[in-house]
């Protein structure tokens, strides 16, 4: 079993039970590795939590940077940001749930790295919104508050999204894009 598979299994455990309610023995049992074999792949429960969070934020940030570093118009960039967010969350539900909900369990040394990347992510979204406001595509508003509202709506998917539920990624992308744009487009 490789580390990525271990991270997927542990992500599901942390999503279902929470970081604090998941024991190393449960992790060991679920991944099928005992003692030293498990510790060969993960140093500690916190280390695996950080690895999950780091993988998720890096995946999202990488795709976001690809979008924002294009010459596309700000409304096109924002639409792609929304679509990417929904797609990433629906494909990586356990991992994204852990990175949004369980990061509070990380100690300072891990928090600093995570928060730095989270802040980069938020800054990119604010810059796209600011660009759209300057170009008259989006209405004038408090950019930071608007970015929190957009990301809050998107990130809340980790609470209610059900992969076997009635709404697939296509429906969510379409509805979220309409909802967000109806609130920010200049009229």
Count of Cβ atoms closer than 10 Å to residue 145 Cβ:
10
Q: How much is the pLDDT for 181?
A: 96
Q: Residue 6, Cα to own-chain centre: how many angstroms?
A: 19
Of 124, 144, 149, nearest to 68 by C-alpha is 124
Q: Is the entire prediction scored with pTM above 0.85? A: yes
pLDDT at 93 over 90: yes
In CATH, the architecture of 45-184 is Orthogonal Bundle (1.10)
Q: How much is the pLDDT for 61?
A: 95
Q: What is the pLDDT of residues 99-108, one digit of tens each?
A: 999 988 988 8
138 with 129: CB under 8 angstroms? yes
Q: Hey, where are the domains in the chain? A: 45-184
DSSP 185: B
Q: How much is the pLDDT for 11?
A: 94
pLDDT at 44 over 80: yes
* Confidence grade of residue 16 (pLDDT, cut at 50, 70, 90): very high
Q: What are phi and psi of 42, to 5 degrees?
A: -135, 135
| Opening angle at CA 21, ends 122 and 107, nearest 5 | 45
């Amino acid at each position: 079993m490789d580390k990525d598979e271990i991270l997927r299994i542990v992500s599901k455990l942390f999503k279902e039970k929470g970081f604090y309610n998941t024991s190393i023995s449960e992790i060991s049992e679920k991944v099928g590795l005992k003692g030293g074999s498990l510790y060969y792949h993960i140093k500690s429960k916190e280390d695996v939590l950080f690895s999950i969070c780091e993988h998720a934020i890096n995946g999202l940030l990488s795709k976001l940077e690809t979008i924002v570093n294009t010459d596309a118009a700000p409304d096109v960039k924002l639409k792609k940001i929304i679509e990417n967010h929904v797609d990433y969350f629906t494909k990586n539900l356990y991992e994204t749930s852990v990175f949004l909900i369980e990061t509070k369990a990380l100690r300072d040394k891990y928090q600093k790295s995570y928060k730095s990347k989270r802040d980069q992510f938020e800054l990119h979204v604010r810059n796209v919104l600011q660009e759209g406001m300057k170009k008259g595509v989006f209405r004038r508003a408090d950019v930071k508050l608007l970015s929190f509202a957009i990301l809050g709506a998107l990130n809340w998917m980790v609470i209610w999204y059900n992969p076997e539920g009635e709404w697939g990624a296509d429906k969510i992308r379409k509805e979220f894009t309409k909802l967000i744009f109806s609130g920010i487009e200049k009229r």
